[in-house]
Amino acid sequence: MHDRQALQAAHKSGESIRGISRDRGASRNAVRRALRPGARDSYYRPSASEDAEPAVRDVLADYPAMSVSDIALLIDWRKSRRQLSDLVARLRPRTVSEWPAIEARPLHSITIGRLATKPLDVGKMKIGELNL
């Protein structure tokens, strides 16, 4: 995103909203949002993979060899497969000796999202199969 402090400083120095947006490559509405009273100095929105990271960690802790497509089904991933694949590659244990030596939890105990309040509804799904 754009540096909101720089946008505010440019406006205080007398530049117009249109001029700031043209010079900085920001939309006029982005400049207006930055100039709004009480606007935050920075803007941050977590990516989809950051939101799904806890759920992927839970799945990989119990099923470290699970395929990316099965993980996508399990956590109800609706974004880019490549994005999930990169996340899984980063989080997956690299060797068998790094895999946790614990018993796997039942699939229905794994939760979705950061807040971990909604359990997964797995129904009749089996790992490696998709029963419709």
Residue 41 has a pLDDT of: 78
Q: Are 82 and 20 in a shared domain?
A: no
42 within domain boundaries: no
Range of the domain at 71: 48-119
125 within domain boundaries: no
Question: At 29, is the pLDDT very low, low, confident or very high (cuts 50, 70, 90)?
Answer: very high
Tens of pLDDT, residue by residue over 39-97, are: 887 777 778 888 899 999 999 988 888 899 999 999 989 999 999 999 999 998 776 56
Compute the half-sphere exposure of residue 79: CA atoms within 13 Å on the CB side of its CA. Answer: 13
Q: Are 87 and 25 in a shared domain?
A: no
Number of domains observed in the structure of the chain: 2
Residue 32 has pLDDT above 90, yes or no: yes
CB contact burial 26-60 (16+ within 10 A = b; e otherwise): beeebbbbbbeeeeeeeeeeeeebeebbbbbebbb
Q: Are 113 and 53 in a shared domain?
A: yes
Residue 130 has pLDDT above 60, yes or no: no
- The one-letter amino acid at 64: P
76 within domain boundaries: yes
Q: Are 57 and 25 in a shared domain?
A: no
Q: Are 56 and 98 in a shared domain?
A: yes
